[in-house]
Amino acid sequence: MFQPRPIVSMYFPPFLVVTLMGTFKVLVGTMALTDMKIRNAKPEAKQYKLSAGLGLYLVISPKGGKWWRIRYRFGGKQKELSLGTYPTTTLKSAVLKRDEIRAMVADDIDPAVERKTEKLYKHAASENSFKAVADEWFTKFSSEWSEQHKQRTIGRLRNDVYPWLGSKVINTVTAPELLMVLRRMESRGAIDSAHRVRQICSQILRYAIATGRAERDPAADLVGALPPAKKTHFASITEPKAIGELMRAIQGYQGSYITACALRLTPYVFVRPGELRQAEWNDIDLENAEWRIPAERMKMKVLHIIPLSKQALAIFEDIKPLTGRGKYVFPSNRTLARPMSNNTINASLRRLGYTKEEMTAHGFRSMASTILNEQGWNRDAIERQLAHSEKNGVRAAYNYAQYLPERKEMMQAWADYLDGLAKGADVIPIKSNS
């Protein structure tokens, strides 16, 4: 029986028919590959492929996973690259990536080598990012800082700097970019914090220069770019009659005995609140009437000596039977293992009826500084007793005992003056002649 031959075979030889039909199937398969077809592709017992044409294909694994691959030839060798998984990488995205790779090959660039180079660059960039260098700087230098300073510094970096500059290669950070970070802080009224963040960034950038990862410090260009920070003065009482009233209120405090002793001691020694609450018995020399605070617990990281007046000594002797067997002079009311809260003195002043606008724990320092200067005591001795910063760090390390005889005389005169005001007297202590 006569069987009609396919039209194609009537005009082309058999071997060409096979080639044309294969090409036709590939073209039809490519044209037919759609997102719907991909979504509907079911896993089979063995891995199989769906071609998207021009070397791009989708692999379907027996477990149902689908990932894109592309084959290309470079330097006479067959090569293959992964282009991501479906549906994260869509058909459209995969086709765009395929076309980019084909364009690179046409420009005599090996996509595999280019991808490896880019990966190495990204790795190097992440190691030299602002955040990576800043974290390294923080780890290296923060071991000597107080816990409060540590938390404040890393908090400023995490909240105000890292979100905008953290991922940038540190050597590419510019002054305008850093200024935008500071302007955001300025816009919410945190001008003092903005100045401090500029200083922190400058330290980080100088560290990057020292370690060969930056060439200059753009933060230095921003000096003067922000409005001056408003100096905040701690509320303090400096009028003698009011000081007398405060001293009488302190002497009549009815709270816990530990808190009462700490509150009574504060005006006599006028140390920073954190230094008072962390006072340790090992630092107190009752025999020589001295309190020596180690450098690591001082803001300026220099040993500080407080000559103890007779009044201050009496307070230490009063509380020693209660807390002397522990570490802290003024432990927490909840546990002897920790010092009292950093807000204890302020809370006590509020309990006595003094608002934060009238008096603070830090205000006793301003009180002493104001009155002692008015009374004519040596300004340098006062500054040394307040443990204010010495610009020359080396000099400061050796000058902790500077003016010590005069300071001993001054501290006793100061305590006597306070007691005189508490009794209602108009006390004018003898000025130092040294």
Active site amino acids: 272, 299, 362, 365, 388, 398
- Separation CA 28–CA 52 (nearest Å): 10
Residue 72 CB neighbour total at 10 angstroms: 20
- Separation CA 368–CA 407 (nearest Å): 13
- Separation CA 306–CA 407 (nearest Å): 8
CB-based contact 301:310 (threshold 8 Å): no
- Separation CA 144–CA 46 (nearest Å): 62
CB-based contact 418:270 (threshold 8 Å): no
| Main-chain phi, psi angles of 53, to 5 degrees | 90, 155
Question: Which residues in 116-203 belong to E strands, given as ranges?
Answer: none
- Reduce the secondary structure of 36-66 to three states and give it as a string: HHHHHCCCCCCCEEEEEECCEEEEECCCCCE
Tokens of 56: 């791009």
- Separation CA 410–CA 430 (nearest Å): 10
Is the bond preceding residue 163 a cis peptide, omega within 30 degrees? no
What 8-state DSSP symbol labels residue 356? Answer: T
CB-based contact 162:178 (threshold 8 Å): no
Helices 111-127 + 91-106 axis angle, to 10: 110
Place of tokens 């009537």: 10
- Separation CA 90–CA 68 (nearest Å): 9
Question: Which residues in 270-319 belong to E strands, given as ranges?
Answer: 284-285, 290-293, 304-307
Place of tokens 């364009």: 103
Burial class, 321, CB count within 10 angstroms (exposed 0-12 / middle 13-18 / buried 19+):
exposed
